[in-house]
Chain A
């Protein structure tokens, strides 16, 4: 409850509840709660059986999850063994998106910085805590969405299938991207059909890949990762490498990101043109569904990137071919959440009420009332969502009630 950066969690009747309108899907609560009181939203493997053709769209950081010596091609074989019919390499898609962003940033005349929408937590953070900046979110779809659309188009043409018979499944390092696919922030339908976390596929893919490595059998697949661009954008370098000549800033980690947004709000960061923020420390390799140690994964990815060329002719030609024919813009604008409708006078009144309540609270932020801090309880009271008597210091009754729930011998 207390770790939630947007104070979206309350404990009512010994159960954690969250307010979906202020939750940003960061997953901090999942990591913090040792009692599994909070579960992640995922797609189950069974959900996939209804599709005729299943294509995996792995996040590039997947290739850094396995022991050194296991190649991307062996990992692809593992995914096919897992049950996918194909695996999509989105090197081309990421370069297309980088180009679209470059154009967008070049033509922009509004307030800066422009903010990348690659990390879904950052998008929701802006919606909830920095609503005035939603106009600065770059309205270009993330590369994974473009990849999903193209993968479906590609295989439907190739095998004469309808697009709804094909599932494009993102292999994800975090639950936030799963939610961004199942319930996009713009309120539209994602191009992807679901997501599986690294943890769900890891063991079977590892077993298969290790076998391939030890028996030295030839890979059935052509090399999936043809150039280092895709990997590099996911190990510390970010899109700044592809989108050039703009005052670029990259920040990772949720608390660091919040700090940067606060600075933007105070007018301290006037010289940044393009901001790429990631909720996870060190970027997607630090996602909450990853398996490998974050730093080891980074080293593995960098080692793989070193042995590959910056760009290859096949990818380059494909980027050239597709760029002029596709539309990369988001399907709908991102709007502030929750919608604010009260008049200033009303807001002043509520704030005054909350301040008066706060003055009567002990200020210990013990959390026994079910709100994370005294200040949050005071706010809840002003909104009519809680009572002052939820505070154990103000109500004997509340204390006895908690004793009954939490202390077994008192029951």
Chain B
């Protein structure tokens, strides 16, 4: 794990611990939308900048999948007339995402690839933890809870895929 990965993980955990107790559906919606958007932003950068073709393909997959999940989340929020409400966790995610992209922009080649993939591993692990400990247990609307349960396996698949790429990049060192 690189430094930016640790920093982002710290931010995410800090945000989650603050709001875990009193989180509502509008706040959960904001967290879901932000969590997906920050990975779309990082993916869009990596899809063009990564040196390794497998990393570029993975990045493009993150853009496609997280955009699709966000579209479903926004459609559901609109249907339920829930306006996503910013909160400590969504703000921490946004700040973490911006810092990650800024840090990545300073890198290139294999260093960029490793930093991006390391961050993806941390990010997906943290979002899974948030889904399991905070978002799914606290979602009160049945459809919102069902959406979170439905997307969870995609985050698991992304995490495992990122770990596989992380391992293959280490072998190239």
Is this pair of chains taken from one and the same complex? no
Q: Which residues from chain B sit less than 8 Å from chain A, CB to CB?
A: none
Q: Which residues from chain A sit less than 8 Å from chain B, CB to CB?
A: none
